[in-house]
Amino acid sequence: MKRLSVILIGCVCAILMTIPAFAAGPLTVDIHGPGQRMVNLTILPPKGLDGAPVPEAAAQALQELVVNNLSYIPFLKLVGVDQLLGGDPSTGVKGSEIDFKPFQLARVDLCMTAGWNGEYIEARVFETFSGRRVVGKSYRDVSQNLPLVADRFCSSFLEALTGKKGFFDSPIAFVRQMGKTKEIFTVLPQGRELKQITRLGDFNLSPTWSSDGSKIAFTHIGKTRHELCVFDSATNKIKRRYKGLGSTIISPVYSAGDKLFVALNRNGATNIYGLDKSFKPEKPLVGSPYIDVSPSFDRSGEKMVFTSSRAGNPHIYLMDVKSGDIRRVTTTGKYNTHPCISPDGRFVAYTHQTSDGHRIYLHDLQTGREKQLTFGPGNDEYPAFGPDGYFVAFASSRTGEYKVYLTTRHGDTPKRIPTGKGAAFAPAWDTSLQW
């Protein structure tokens, strides 16, 4: 794929404070609060630049990609041009070429324009009540890169609006059932670029990304032994290790600096170990006679959550890695597993067993408050935070077969991620992009 050349036109939206939808001042959205208000957006028909014709097929394809991307954003509502008085109120792509009054009458907050000239496209979003340009970008070499253009622009748009980039080009690794075997795949959240990573047969489980996104570690359970495996995207090769790691090798995870941790049973108890560069176990990070598994680290590597049986039933615990102090996070129920800590270290998503099945819960480490994020039917398991700590991927059997879904940490309506045929579960999000 050709390298995409991006020319910054401008981004003049300051993130100030949450304001009423139709008040003066920059429009912003607070995604950190308990919920979001709806923001209405209209995508205007594409225009030709410098007398060039609009390539209808490419323009339609780009709009469909943008619409699909934005359909994952729970606080955005798309309003068609046919809902505006008089139809399309623009003659071009610049603010001076748009009549914003029809948008104001229809209570539309934002409008997007796209201009084509044969060599590049320009895309902009404007606030309709002030005429302020929220974001503007120009992209070259777009003929073979329309999906990447849509992803990059939507991410820039969301960053200008919320202070956080979109997740659109951050892949998710997951396990897919293939007959009697389970293999590791990756896919973008929109369902594009579905790739099979492993072809090892037997069971390949618990994928986890390195901090730079170049490697995926996972557990291979064969007919005679467990193996720790690491897929390297630079070589497309898989390293396999088992000697000296013990009979049980599960729950691999990378911490800061791409240090690999894994739960091992080396002496009768399953504990969490760090591995050196040659994959040799160091001292247990959490040494105990109990079962300690499923570690998850924040971006700094200073906080780790894990599942332990030390209370008699599986519960979630938090460890301060520097001091070694451990405190219990979950206190309700008898079965809490699969913890995932948000990159900023504030939230823990986990699987909680209820009388109606497994559900995803969220624990705020700062306030101690908990809330239920998913409500079935079926079982909801394996939560995984996205790079921004706002979106949460999880697996659910709500349709009868496990598939991967997205929600937010506010519990918005889940949206299914296309993963192809077969059950899909155990999602793990690549959080290597700088946020």
Q: What is the CATH number of the domain that holds 261?
A: 2.120.10.30
243 and 118 together in one domain = no
106 and 56 together in one domain = yes
- Tens of pLDDT, residue by residue over 147-162, are 999 999 999 999 998 8
Please check whether residue 236 lies inside any domain of the structure: yes
194 and 296 together in one domain = yes
> Taking a C-beta distance cutoff of 8 angstroms, is the pair 427, 172 a contact?
yes
pTM of the predicted structure, to 2 decimals:
0.89
The candidate with the shortest Cα–Cα distance to 50, out of 10, 9, 88, 93, is 93
Residue 154, SS3? helix
Mean pLDDT of 4-28: 39
Mean pLDDT of the chain: 90
- Residue that terminates a domain, selected from 131, 162, 193: 162
Please check whether residue 434 lies inside any domain of the structure: no
pLDDT at 388: 87
Please check whether residue 50 lies inside any domain of the structure: yes
pLDDT range class, residue 163, cuts 50, 70, 90 = confident
108 and 242 together in one domain = no
266 and 410 together in one domain = yes
Please check whether residue 152 lies inside any domain of the structure: yes
158 and 184 together in one domain = no
Give the lowest-confidence range in 10-14, 194-198, 269-273: 10-14
Residue 433, SS3? coil
Please check whether residue 139 lies inside any domain of the structure: yes
Asked if the model's pLDDT at residue 48 lies above 60, the reply is: yes
203 and 120 together in one domain = no
DSSP string of 31-90, one letter each residue:
TTSS----EEEEEPPPEESTTPPP-HHHHHHHHHHHHHHHTT-TTEEE--GGGSTTS--B
182 and 292 together in one domain = yes
Strand 260-265 to 248-254 pairing: antiparallel
26 and 137 together in one domain = yes
286 and 353 together in one domain = yes
Mean pLDDT of 362-374: 97
The encoded tokens of residue 255 equal: 């911490």
Task: Please report which helix (H) or strand (E) contains residue 370, including its range.
Answer: strand 370-372
Distance CA 103, CA 42 (A): 8
pLDDT at 26: 64
> Taking a C-beta distance cutoff of 8 angstroms, is the pair 80, 42 a contact?
yes
Residue with the larger pLDDT of the pair 208 and 30: 208
Please check whether residue 435 lies inside any domain of the structure: no
Q: Any idea what the CATH number is for the domain that residue 157 is in? A: 3.40.50.10070
Structural domain of 329: 172-429
The CA radius of gyration of the chain, in Å to the nearest whole number, is 24
pLDDT range class, residue 1, cuts 50, 70, 90 = very low
Tokens 């999880």 correspond to: 394
pLDDT at 34: 53
- State the total domains in the chain: 2
158 and 176 together in one domain = no
Asked if the model's pLDDT at residue 20 lies above 80, the reply is: no
- Residue that terminates a domain, selected from 162, 197, 232: 162
152 and 24 together in one domain = yes
Distance CA 351, CA 372 (A): 10
Asked if the model's pLDDT at residue 4 lies above 50, the reply is: no
Distance CA 308, CA 304 (A): 12
Please check whether residue 214 lies inside any domain of the structure: yes
pLDDT range class, residue 165, cuts 50, 70, 90 = confident
Please check whether residue 17 lies inside any domain of the structure: yes
DSSP string of 99-139, one letter each residue:
--HHHHHTT--EEEEEEE-SSEEEEEEEETTT--EEEEEEE
